[in-house]
A and B are shown apart, each in its own frame.
Chain A
Amino acid sequence: MKAVMRLAGVVCAVGMTLGMSAGSSADTAPAKAPGATQQVKIDNFTFAPNELTVSAGTTVQWVNRDDIPHTVVSDDKTTFKSKALDTDDSFSYTFTKAGTYPYFCSIHPKMTGKVVVQ
């Protein structure tokens, strides 16, 4: 019984790994090597990818392609806070510590996103 269970556990783990590397939904992106700048596009009142996973040390650059200004502000309002980004303006922040960083647009607070740092 125990052997069967262990095998099942391994199969599950493998399945999950495959799923993670193969699956790349429109909303989330897998972590890339540290050093590369990752981009989040702002358009149509949306942050895309909405949830971005990066390695510690990665710089994330938000670029506003919308025809209305937006901001990028961490939920705690202190960790990072951009000034108003008009069309084609950008804001960058380097994530050094692991953790989950939810953020939003302080002008249109219904716009939310998340950076997960591993």
Chain B
Amino acid sequence: MPKEKKDEILYDHNHDGIDRRGFLKCMAWAGTGTFCVMKGGVLNSFSLSRLEEFDPSAMKGELSFAQISDSHMGFNKPANTDVVGTLKAAVGKINALKHQPEFLLHTGDISHLSKPEEFDTVDQILKGSVAKQVFFVPGEHDVIGDDGKQYLERYGKNTQSGGWYSFDTKGVHFVGLVNVMNLKAGGLGSLGAEQLDWLDKDLRGQSASTPVVVFAHIPLWSVYPQWGWGTEDSAQALGYMKRFGSVTVLNGHIHQTMQKVEGNVTFHTATSTAFPQPQPGKADSPGPMKVPAEDLRKLLGITDVKFKRGKHALAIVDSSLEENNQSAQYD
């Protein structure tokens, strides 16, 4: 009988590592590297010390990557006057991960004002990461004034004309979507007919058992429409993903972590590396949230994602810039 620790899963009825009495434990652990999901209205916590029960020799075929988001290079207001420093700290955190990520996903708002020097600075800082490659999708701050022309010149070389694309690695299908172009007055994020058509065709070629990871800047579910935190035509996109056994949607834009599970789709938003934003409805507007200097790094962070073959869901671990690296490890 294993010694009962505070974070041990007590009831594993479905043999999927989910403790259905995890609510209070989850809330206490928020921010220390625990994955909590809402499933059918019930909050479940993944005790990550139990999730990865594999022996080291079976590491072959594993996939590990990290998500960073909303670096807003160029932002210099009181909420964070050193976005260079906090982005570097995020890269440092990534470099210190025990199982180094093969690549990074940047889910947009790379720059703050779409200025060339802002993009250059981020590229420079990311070169210091151990990850071999960075994949980007644009945020609305990256396509200001030129309909994304500069963004596409820099990051659109291997993408479709509108900046969306897909790639496969270690048996996982990744799809980068663009939902920040051609935004209409009073509207939310938008994918558009051309991209949706491409997505339909792109996914048709994949077997339903292939895990799919979709990344886009603005959340693909309605987090808080009043603040523009949603995508108008995402329902159609999600419809194309319905037949897949495992879909993970990674977004940014809201500068805080939020999770939602709907059937086989897990939605996850990342913190920013630049500044936090208020929770839905908790402020007049979704602007940069000023916090005491000593608290800032608790609210900024990175997301570490691992795929283990045979597991239904990808393991997603958020860690703040302030946390001790040990707490972000889970094997």
Q: Complex formed: what's the CA distance from A113 to B38 in Å?
A: 38
Q: Complex formed: what's the CA distance from A67 to B290 in Å?
A: 11
Interface residues of B in 90-110 (CB under 8 A from A): none
Q: Which residue of B lies closest to A68 (CB)?
A: B287
Residues of A within 8 A of B112 (CB): 69
Q: Is the interface of A mostly helix, strand, loop or mixed?
A: loop
Bitwise, B128-155 to A at CB < 8 A (1) or not (0) is 0000000000001100110000000000
State how many residues of chain B have any CB contact under 8 Å with chain A. 24
Does A28 count as interface, using CB distance less than 8 angstroms?
Answer: no
Range for the number of chain A residues in contact with chain B: 20 to 34
Bitwise, A50-93 to B at CB < 8 A (1) or not (0) is 00000000000000001111010001000000011011000000
Given A44-B285, A46-B285, A84-B145, A67 and B114 touching (CB < 8 A)?
no
Does B83 count as interface, using CB distance less than 8 angstroms?
Answer: no
Determine, out of B182-190, B202-210, B318-326, the stretch whose residues face the partner at the interface: B182-190
The distance from the CB of A108 to the nearest CB of chain B, in whole angstroms, is: 6
Does A23 count as interface, using CB distance less than 8 angstroms?
Answer: no
Q: Complex formed: what's the CA distance from A118 to B285 in Å?
A: 32
A44→B185 contact, CB < 8 A = no
Q: Complex formed: what's the CA distance from A71 to B147 in Å?
A: 13
Q: Complex formed: what's the CA distance from A112 to B228 in Å?
A: 12
Contact for A110 among B79, B227, B288, CB less than 8 A: B227
Does A109 count as interface, using CB distance less than 8 angstroms?
Answer: yes
Q: Complex formed: what's the CA distance from A86 to B144 in Å?
A: 12
Bitwise, A96-118 to B at CB < 8 A (1) or not (0) is 00000011101111101000000
Q: Complex formed: what's the CA distance from A106 to B286 in Å?
A: 16
Residues of B within 8 A of A106 (CB): 140, 144, 183
Q: Which residue of B lies closest to A106 (CB)?
A: B183
Q: Is the interface of B mostly helix, strand, loop or mixed?
A: loop
B285→A109 contact, CB < 8 A = no
Q: Complex formed: what's the CA distance from A110 to B141 in Å?
A: 15
Given A44-B284, A67-B77, A67-B287, A109 and B188 touching (CB < 8 A)?
yes
Does B78 count as interface, using CB distance less than 8 angstroms?
Answer: yes
Contact for A109 among B79, B186, B284, CB less than 8 A: B186
B287→A45 contact, CB < 8 A = yes
Residues of A within 8 A of B78 (CB): 67
A103→B185 contact, CB < 8 A = yes
Given A68-B288, A107-B141, A109-B187, A84 and B228 touching (CB < 8 A)?
no
Bitwise, B216-246 to A at CB < 8 A (1) or not (0) is 0000000000111000000000000000000
Does B113 count as interface, using CB distance less than 8 angstroms?
Answer: yes
Q: Complex formed: what's the CA distance from A83 to B113 in Å?
A: 10
A69-B141, A108-B228 known; 6 other A-B pairs, CB under 8 Å? A67-B77, A69-B112, A109-B188, A110-B188, A110-B226, A110-B228
- Residues of A with Cβ closer than 8 Å to B? 44-46, 66-69, 71, 75, 83-84, 86-87, 102-104, 106-110, 112
- The 7 lowest CB-CB distance pairs between A and B, nearest first, are A104-B185, A45-B285, A109-B183, A110-B228, A67-B77, A84-B144, A75-B185
What are 30 inter-chain pairs, A to B, with CB distance below 8 A? A44-B284, A44-B285, A45-B227, A45-B284, A45-B285, A45-B286, A45-B287, A67-B78, A67-B287, A68-B287, A68-B288, A69-B113, A69-B141, A71-B145, A75-B184, A83-B144, A83-B145, A87-B77, A103-B185, A106-B140, A106-B144, A108-B140, A108-B228, A109-B183, A109-B184, A110-B186, A110-B187, A110-B188, A110-B226, A110-B227
